[in-house]
Amino acid sequence: MSPKAVRLWLAEALFGFVLLVGCSILVARWVGGSGWSWVPGWFADDPWLLPVVLGVLTTPFLIAEPFVRYAVHRWELSGDVVYTRSGFLTREWVFVPVSRIQTVDKAQGWVERLLGLATLEIRTASHAGSSTIKGLDYEVAAGLAEELARRAEELRDDAT
Amino acid sequence: MTEPPSHPPAPPGPEGSSPIPAGPPPLLPPPVPGRAPLRLSPKVLLIQPVRMIPSLLLPLVGLLFVGGFSGKSYLWAAVGVGVTFAIAVVRWAIFSYEIVSDRLEIKRSLISRSVRTIPLERVRGVDVSTPPMHRLLGLAVLKIDTGASGDAEEGKLDGVTLEEAERLKSVLLRRTRAARAAAHSATASGETISPSASDGASPSVTAAGPAAPPRASGVAAEADREIISVPWTWLLYGPLSGAYLLTPFALAGGAVGLAFQWGDDLGFGRDAALTVGEWLWEHPYLLLAVVLLLVVAMPVVGGVMYAVFNWNFRLTSRDRYLVAERGLINRRSVSLEARRVRGYEIVEGLAERWAGVARVWAIVTGLGDTQTRGQLLPDVPRAVAFKVTGEAIGSYRAELRPHPPIARNRRLFRAIAPWLLPAAATALTALLTAEAAWWIAAVVALLLAGTGIPLGLDRYRSLGHGYDGVRLAVRSGSLRRSQAVVERRAVVGWHLRQTWFQRRAGVYTLTAGVGAGKGGYSAIDVSQSQAIGFPAEVTPEWLAPFMEKGK
């Protein structure tokens, strides 16, 4: 992975964080100001507790996630098999033999474009046998996509 | 645009076993010479308007009631019927199909023109079904499975005569094979595939097989070989499958909805329906009786539905295709190319396991609508299911390996905890509020948690995976236990997954990616050595580079 991937994951985590806290502020104001009978008194008095608690709870994850992901995420192409490892709380390992690859896509979101990164999507006939490599340097992704496509063409086998 | 709005009906050309009588002949330019596009049977014209009747009926009834029995409302009604019929005629007239050398072309041409071309070598299966209306008129719906994703890519001929459907089926499937044989080997010379009219016109199902010419590619043409014909007594297993059990409720719901809708249109209004509802609500015993009646009706109606759909189930092997036929009213025949069948899935519900019966689905690459098309066997005794799948596809010959004991704890926890939590919560509220209702809720939740114990244990017993050198198998589930058996060559990748909880327990979920059926079949909670060892055993050449380095 490119070291810049840390920034990508941080940006994504921040986006989620802002969304979560923003929504919780809205919910807290709505519920706190509604005067419904089932709302406990202590909450109606201090509705700002909800976003604060949520924020405090998720901040460690926000900070840890990019670094853990950077430590976990790996990819390797050897012996015509693509191996990827990814995950934060849930780990995933995917083995895809190049001979079974159907398409190789590279994609860039706007954050990725800013950082010069790309995502490589390796697809086979099955969703369970398809893998996605995030946070590659654009040149690396382009080169890998090129190589995989070429090898897949050579090794094409029509069993599926 | 000088495009002809439609082609005149086909003269009996070289393909011409089609018994199309001269339909309403549009006075139009002569057809392109040398071409003989075929039409759907004109009898299909009767189906479309009849199908539209329900949607037409309501405004019609309204018109008759509101507008009285004046001539005007009749006129409107006549206009409505006339318009639907006219639409049906136009649809019929602009639709044509033909087999041109090695492809099937389906054309819709009025002002704009759309031609769908299906190369015959792409045809993976043919699905012929006869919905009730079609059945009455001796027609069938023919769907051509091309392995493309999405329904829009399929060829569909809605309303060909039964003879024409049989003819098309045999021509399509045989030509498919010929096209492939020609493509794969140059030895196919001298082989002529002639769509003989006598072959096509034969209404008997069995006539198509023996008429097949011998293959030059060395594959002996196979006559129709019946693998199994399910005796009607086995239809009694139907209610055990749990299929269609909710039909009575759906019917009741539909009736209530219809009453509301029609009540409005017929003049007695929504209020009347609401009053009836209120009256029922005030007589809860009556309501309870109705619900009980529906519940009692569940297995009966479900069984009847099952019998109607699976009536006279026959599985035959014909000319390298597996053909499954079933149904009483809607007789459906699905042809699956044997070459594309990658394995099968044996499914048993709890009641079915008690009775020792099982259902089987085929795992086929590029098959759309797997749930209905892929069905290989309805409920049959387990031994028969294994024998038949072994004969039709190939049996799995190895023991399933159990998963590590820690998987049992996880199954138990997952079966019990969801009920234990509400039990604790309700018990706490009961203690605080001292209300009897909460105690009852707590006891119910506890009982449900108790049933989780045998359920979890059984789920663990179901877990297993194995490999016999050709096929791999994975099994899981208790209320719906399913065992998937897939050929090794169908595996396109391995996916290993470990949630945070699984990491604590040291187990993994291993999924074999398969380019057929559901796309992936999982072995749940395997140990670390199994998670690495199983892929290495099935596909050693893929894993070898990583094995020496370790994970």
Tens-digit pLDDT profile for residues B143-180: 887 766 555 557 788 888 888 888 888 888 776 666 66
Fold of A73-155: PH-domain like (2.30.29)
- Taking CB atoms and an 8 Å cut-off, how many pairs form between chains A and B? 104
Q: What is the dihedral of CA A141, A147, A151, A152, to 10 degrees?
A: 30
DSSP run (H or E) holding B531: helix B528-538
Q: Are residues B409 and B445 in the same domain?
A: yes
| B277: contact with A, CB 8 A cutoff | no
What are the C-alpha distances in Å from B290 to residues B249, B259, B284?
Answer: 11, 17, 10
Closest C-alpha to B462, from B522, B418, B503, B413? B522
Domain that holds residue B449: 405-461
Q: Are residues B136 and B263 in the same domain?
A: no
> pLDDT at residue B511 above 90?
yes
In a domain, B546, yes or no: no
Residues of A engaging B, defined by a Cβ cutoff of 8 Å: 76, 78-79, 81, 83, 87, 89-97, 100, 124-131, 159-160
| Residues of chain B contacting residue A81, judged by C-beta atoms under 8 Å apart | 542-543, 545-546
* Backbone φ and ψ of B513, nearest 5°: -75, 125
CA of B541 vs chain A CAs: smallest distance (Å): 9
pLDDT band at B104 (very low <50, low <70, confident <90, very high): confident
Residue in B511, B515, B545 nearest the CB of A124: B515
Q: Report the residue of A65, A75, A80, A95 to disrupt the B interface, i.e. the one with the largest count of B CBs within 10 Å.
A: A95
What are the C-alpha distances in Å from B248 to residues A59, A62, B111, B297?
Answer: 52, 51, 47, 7
In a domain, B390, yes or no: no
Report pLDDT for B230: 87
CA of B190 vs chain A CAs: smallest distance (Å): 27
The rounded mean pLDDT for chain B is 76
Mean pLDDT of B500-523: 89
Q: Are residues B202 and B60 in the same domain?
A: yes
Which of B258, B276, B310 represents a domain boundary (last residue)? B310
Q: What is the dihedral of CA B463, B464, B465, B466, to 10 degrees?
A: -170
Check CB contact under 8 Å for A127 and B520: yes
Q: Measured between alpha carbons, how far is B106 from B118 in angstroms, rounded to an integer?
A: 8
Check CB contact under 8 Å for A128 and B520: yes
Q: Buried b vs exposed e over B168-206: b needs ≥16 C-beta within 10 Å?
A: bbbbbbbbbbbbbbbeeeeebeeeebebeeebbebeebe
Q: Are residues B105 and B165 in the same domain?
A: yes
Mean pLDDT of A8-30: 89
Residue in B496, B519, B543 nearest the CB of A127: B519
Mean pLDDT of B118-146: 83
* Backbone φ and ψ of A48, nearest 5°: -70, -10
Helix axes B436-462, B405-433, angle to 10 degrees: 180
Q: Are residues B196 and B240 in the same domain?
A: no
Which of B290, B310, B330 represents a domain boundary (last residue)? B310
Strands A131-137 and A117-123: antiparallel
Neighbours of A100 (CB within 10 A): 27
Q: Are residues B427 and B296 in the same domain?
A: no
Which residues, at least 6 apart from B376, have a Cβ–Cβ distance to it below 8 Å? B315, B322, B324, B344, B360, B361, B362, B388, B389, B392
Q: Measured between alpha carbons, how far is B167 from B104 in angstroms, rounded to an integer?
A: 14
In a domain, B304, yes or no: yes
Q: Are residues B166 and B295 in the same domain?
A: no
Neighbours of B255 (CB within 10 A): 10
pLDDT band at A19 (very low <50, low <70, confident <90, very high): very high
Q: Are residues B170 and B238 in the same domain?
A: no
For B311-351, the pLDDT digits (tens) are 889 998 877 788 888 888 888 888 888 888 889 999 998 88
In a domain, B539, yes or no: no
Q: Is B349 exposed, middle or buried (0-12, 13-18, 19+ CB in 10 A)?
A: buried
| Residues of chain B contacting residue A100, judged by C-beta atoms under 8 Å apart | 492-493, 515
Q: Are residues B205 and B274 in the same domain?
A: no
Q: Scanning the structure block, which residue is given the tokens 């396991």?
A: B353
Which of B182, B197, B221 represents a domain boundary (last residue)? B221
For B212-228, the pLDDT digits (tens) are 333 333 334 446 788 88
| B11: contact with A, CB 8 A cutoff | no
* Backbone φ and ψ of B269, nearest 5°: 75, 170
> What does DSSP assign to residue B38?
B
Residue in B489, B493, B551 nearest the CB of A129: B493
Q: What angle do CA B390, B395, B400 make, to 5 degrees?
A: 145
Report pLDDT for B159: 83
In a domain, B485, yes or no: no
Closest C-alpha to B209, from B196, B200, B222, B220? B222
The rounded mean pLDDT for chain A is 85
Mean pLDDT of B341-368: 87
Q: Are residues B98 and B172 in the same domain?
A: yes
Domain count, chain B: 3
Q: Scanning the structure block, which residue is given the tokens 């499975």?
A: B145
Residue in B489, B493, B514 nearest the CB of A95: B493
Contact B98, B35 (CB under 8 A): yes
In a domain, B111, yes or no: yes
A-facing residues of B in 301-360 (CB < 8 A) are 342
In a domain, B317, yes or no: no
Report pLDDT for B84: 79
In a domain, B195, yes or no: yes
Q: Are residues B189 and B239 in the same domain?
A: no
CA–chain centroid gap for B211, Å, is: 30
Count of residues making up chain B = 551
Highest-scoring range by mean pLDDT, B229-233, B495-499, B518-522: B495-499
- Cα Rg, chain A, nearest whole Å: 21
Residue in A78, A93, A124 nearest the CB of B513: A124
Q: Are residues B156 and B190 in the same domain?
A: yes
Q: Scanning the structure block, which residue is given the tokens 């060892």?
A: B533
Q: Measured between alpha carbons, how far is B318 from B329 in angstroms, rounded to an integer?
A: 24
Closest C-alpha to A127, from A105, A87, A96, A81? A96
